[in-house]
Amino acid sequence: MKKNNSFLLLILLVSTLAFSQDYIYKNQNMVMGSINPSFYGFGDSSKAGVIYSSEGFNQNTKMDNRFAFANHYFDNNDFSLAVDVNSMQISSLGYATNSANLHYIYRTQLNEEWIFNPSVSVGFGSTKLDFNSLVFEDQLNVYTGSIVGISNDPININNNVNYFDVGAGVSFYNTSDYFANNSDVLLGANIKHINRPETSFNSDESNIKDLFISLQTGIQFDINQYNQGFLPYYSYLFLYNTFSKQGAKSRIDLYQEAILGNIGFGLNQHFNNFDGFSVSQFGASLSVFIEEIEIGANYSVEMGGNKIAGATYNTFEIYITFDFNPFKKNRRGDNSRFYDLNN
């Protein structure tokens, strides 16, 4: 029974992917450009980084995701260019999807306190399914439990789909204390797949990518601005939240991160709903700052609910980012997410 349930879970997982649902990284609060490319221009920075993620109910349903990005701010022209690539793979099914995107982010100084960064994105995507990894009905022997190697079912579908993609986004952030208690604020919104690309494997059927819409909010508090008590002088509390919707799927991500000098500790909660099927997760993160380098990990487990197939849905992610701003080499433990914006 557990094996049957695992197989059903795998089919449900892949069905979600087949209907063109975008993957959202748990470490998006560390790499905000992964969900809204407008944030690649946040802080007029030039950065690069990678994320690796593995998640699923068990080994048979594991998804491996790899993400890499690089962005550069052109100071004399008030804009940033960014590129990112993403690769997702389910080895047990021979399913893989890859994408590469180019982003243009323009910097607009609205007033002395607020900066507005609109962005446009163009990209290319490819999805592949190895049908040799699939099992069809006529390959199953219900008496012996064996699987015949060759199916007689006709397959009128392609195993590879390529498409062109377009997106747009905006972000706002303040460059002075927003409240009296020395805090900073950011806001963002974006939309992906504006051109609604066709991603169906079957030439006789249509599977248009649903619009991906997301909203982001964040606020950071200086929790030791007077250098009192046991906390390091540079201590911050960063709260970041997102709401995303794509077709029948909706998701809420909540993050609470304490940055204490050169170390960051965080908690995060994720609430997913897909056509009546829901998975909620609770996670913890740890990050370490070494001058211009940030290294971190996040582990999330399913919250409550029934453990289908005797397993919980869990996620493990690691990431590393490099900040190429030469003025951040000697910031002496000040690893504020808004570093250098209030000076």
**One-letter amino acid of 183:** S
| All residues at 6 or more sequence positions from 258 whose CB lies less than 8 Å from its CB, including other chains | 223, 235, 236, 237, 238, 264, 265, 266
Q: What is the pLDDT of residue 207?
A: 78
Looking at per-residue pLDDT, the higher value among 208 and 264 belongs to 264
Half-sphere exposure in the Cβ direction for 317 (13 Å, CA): 27
pLDDT greater at residue 199 or residue 69: 69
Per-residue tokens: 279: 């998975």
pLDDT of residue 279: 77
State yes or no: pLDDT of 148 exceeds 60: no
Q: What is the mean pLDDT of residues 63-77?
A: 93
Q: Which of 74-78, 275-279, 280-284, 307-311 has the lowest mean pLDDT?
A: 307-311
Predicted pLDDT of residue 77: 92
Answer whether 339's CB lies under 8 Å from 331's CB.
yes
From its phi and psi, is residue 127 left (phi > 0), alpha (psi between -120 and 50) or beta?
Answer: beta
- Of residues 102 and 312, more confidence is placed in 102
Mean pLDDT of 243-253: 91
Residue 230 confidence (pLDDT) above 70: yes
The candidate with the shortest Cα–Cα distance to 40, out of 169, 164, 165, 167, is 169
272 has a pLDDT exceeding 90? no
* Cα 256-269-127 angle, rounded to 5 deg: 115
- Please tell me which of 159-173, 307-321, 325-339 the model is most confident about, judged by mean pLDDT: 159-173
Per mean pLDDT, which of 164-178, 216-230, 238-252, 264-278 is the most reliable?
238-252
Phi, psi of 27 (to 5 degrees): -90, 30
Q: What is the mean pLDDT of the chain?
A: 82
Average pLDDT over residues 142-148: 43
Question: Can you give the C-alpha Rg of the chain in angstroms?
Answer: 22
Tokens 């911050």 — which residue? 236
Q: First vs last Cα of the chain: how many Å apart?
A: 62
pLDDT score at 307: 55
- The total number of residues shown for the chain amounts to 343
User: Would you state the pLDDT for residue 15?
Assistant: 47
Percent of the chain whose predicted confidence (pLDDT) is above 70? 78
Percent of the chain exceeding pLDDT 90 equals: 45
User: Of the candidates 171, 166, 167, which has an alpha carbon nearest to the alpha carbon of residue 38?
Assistant: 171
Residue 166's pLDDT is: 96
pLDDT over 80 (residue 212): yes
Non-local (6+) Cβ contacts of 41 within 8 A are 71, 73, 79, 80, 82, 105, 106, 107, 117, 119, 171
Q: What is the dihedral of CA 190, 88, 164, 30, to 10 degrees?
A: 30
Q: Which ranges constitute the DSSP H helices of the chain?
A: 2-18
Confidence of residue 56 (pLDDT cuts 50, 70, 90): confident
Can you tell me the mean pLDDT for 74-94? 89
pLDDT at 342: 55
As a whole number of angstroms, the distance between CA 131 and CA 141 comes to 19
pLDDT of residue 181: 59
Identify which has the larger pLDDT, 91 or 317: 317
